[in-house]
Amino acid sequence: MRVAIATESFLPSLNGVTTSVCRVAESLREQGHTAMIIAPGPAPATFAGHVVRTLPGLPVRGFRAGLPTGGVRRALRDFRPDVVHVASPFLVGARGLHHAEGFDLPTVAIYQTDMPNYVLQHGRGALGRGASTLTWEWIRRIHSRADLTLAPSRPTLEELRAHHIPRTGLWGRGVDTRLFTPTWKEDPQTLALKRALAPNGEVILGYVGRLAPEKELHRLAELAHLPGTRLVLVGEGPSRNELGARLAEAVARAPGRPTLPPAFLGPRTGTDLARAYASFDVFVHTGTKETFGQTLQEGAATGLPVVAPAVGGPLDLVDHGRTGYLFDPEVRGDLTRWVSELVESPGLRESMGSAGPTAVAGRSWDALTTQLVGHYEQAIAARAA
C-alpha cells in the first residue's frame, strides 16, 4: 500500500504528533508498505526509508508550523498514494484533505491535539470561549472532508461525536515495548543517574513531556512539601524558566525544606529517555486536556506506577488501584493524596509498577499499525462505494 502522511509536526520537533508519525512510518516499512511524509521544514530528506517532502514553516510557540502551500498538491500528484493519512490536521492537514478530495483519494484523519481546549485555556472569558467555538467549527469543517476520523481514546471519541464530527472510529497509540522496559532499572548508567538525582534515597517523582502551559505543570507545586521526594522533569518548552522558578520557590517555602530542588534534565530521546524513565519511582502527569497520553504508556511499560488526572485520555490508560491512580483535578489536594500513598509504600510502588508492562503488552506499534492499515482499507472501500 502507498500511504501519503501529511503532518502538522515532524522532526526535529519532539512531541506526540511527531512520535506517532515516526513510529507509524517505521512500522509501515517493516510491514512492506511505502509512505511519503509531507511535513514542515526543515526536516530530514528521508525517514525510515520513506521520502520526506518539506513545506515552508514558521515558528509558533516552539513548534515549526507548516504553511499549506501548493507543495502539498504537487507531493500528492507525484506520489499517487492509495490513501492519505493526515496527522492532527489543522493547516497542512486541511490542505492535504482538500487536495485529496480533488484527486478522489481516500483519507484518514487522526485527531490528536485538543486545540479547542488549548485555545480556551489560553484565552480569557468570553473571548476565549468564542475562540474555542470557532476552533471547533474549523475542526468540524476539516474532519467533515475525511472518509474516516480516528480518535485516540474513548472520552475523545465521545467529544468528537458530541461536536458532530462525522464518520469516527477509535484508534489508540502504540508504545515501543522494546525500548521502554523495566530492564533499564538495573542498567549501570540508570543507577548512576538515580544516585545523582536522589543521593539520599529520595523517591523520585518524574514527568516527561513539553514544558508548556497546557500541561498544567503548576500542579506539581502541591507536591513540594512531601518529605523525602524530588521532582524530576524531562522535556523542554516555553514554560521552562517560569516553571523552574515556581517549583524551586515551592520547595524552598515548604516547612523544614524537606525536599531537594527540582531537577530539569532537558529533552531526551532513545535510550537516554528510557534511562530517565527507569530512574523514576513514580510517574506523574498533570495535564487535563490530553486526548491520549503517550508518556503514560511509556512510564507504565518501564514499570512505573502512574498518577494522572481522571479526565480524557488517561481514563483509558490508567487502571485506578492496579497500575496507578487517577486524581480528581477539581479537588484540591487530591494529587497529593494519591502520590503520598505511593511515596509512603515501596511495596505499593512495586506491585503497581509490575502491573504496568502487562497492561501495555498488546499495544506495540506493530500491532497498532496493523489496526491502522485496517482503517486505511475501510476508508478505501468507503471511497470506492
Co-location of 133 and 216 in the same domain? no
Tally of domains in the chain: 2
Neighbours of 11 (CB within 10 A): 17
Q: Is residue 159 located within the same domain as residue 16?
A: yes
pTM for the structure as a whole = 0.88
Q: How many CA atoms lie within 13 A of 202 on its CB side?
A: 25
**Among 129, 133, 135, CA closest to 111:** 135
Q: What is the pLDDT along the chain (385 residues), one digit of tens a residue?
A: 999 999 999 999 888 899 999 999 999 999 999 999 999 999 999 999 999 999 998 887 667 788 889 999 999 999 999 999 999 999 999 999 999 999 999 999 999 988 777 676 666 676 667 778 899 999 999 999 999 999 999 999 999 999 999 999 999 999 999 999 999 999 999 999 999 999 999 999 999 999 999 999 999 999 999 999 999 999 999 999 999 999 999 999 888 766 799 999 999 999 999 999 999 999 999 999 899 999 999 999 999 999 999 999 999 999 999 999 999 999 999 999 999 999 999 999 999 999 999 999 989 999 999 999 999 999 999 999 8
Q: The C-alpha cell of 113 is what? A: 491535539
> Do 231 and 348 share a domain, yes or no?
yes
Query: Which burial class, exposed, middle or buried, applies to 58 when counting CB atoms under 10 A from its CB (0-12, 13-18, 19+)?
Result: exposed
Statement to judge: residues 274 and 142 lie in one domain: no
Both 212 and 312 in a single domain? yes
CA dist 289 and 361 (Å) reads 25
The number of residues making up the chain comes to: 385
**Main-chain dihedrals φ then ψ at residue 269, nearest 5 degrees:** -135, 170
* Residue 233 and residue 94 share a domain: no
For 265, residues 6+ apart whose C-beta sits below 8 A from its C-beta are: 232, 233, 234, 276
Q: 3-state DSSP call for residue 145? A: coil
| DSSP collapsed to 3 states, 243-277 | HHHHHHHHHHHCCCCCCCCCEEEECCCHHHHHHHH
Q: Does 193 share its domain with 70?
A: no
Whether residue 170 is found in the same domain as residue 112: yes
State the Cα–Cα distance between residues 135 and 128, nearest whole angstrom: 10
Angle at 254 between CA 248 and CA 257, to 5 degrees: 85
Half-sphere exposure of residue 240: CA atoms within 13 angstroms, side-chain side? 15
| Same-domain status, 236 and 119 | no
Best CA proximity match to 206, nearest among 47, 379, 339:
339
pLDDT of the residue at 15 = 87
Cβ-contact 382, 335 below 8 angstroms: no
Residues 282 and 322 in one domain: yes
Whether residue 39 sits in one domain with residue 147: yes
Helix (H) or strand (E) holding 162: helix 154-162
User: Residue 304 gets which letter from DSSP?
Assistant: -
Contact present, 106 and 131 (Cβ < 8 Å): no
Burial 63-87 (b: 16+ CB within 10 A, else e): bbbbebeebbbebbeebebbbbbbb
Residue reference for cell 507548516: 66
Domain at 126, CATH number: 3.40.50.2000
| Under 8 Å between Cβ of 120 and 131 | yes
Domain match, 232 and 373 both: no
Residue numbers of the domain that contains 72: 2-174+364-384
Rounded Cα–Cα distance for residues 103 and 80 (Å):
9
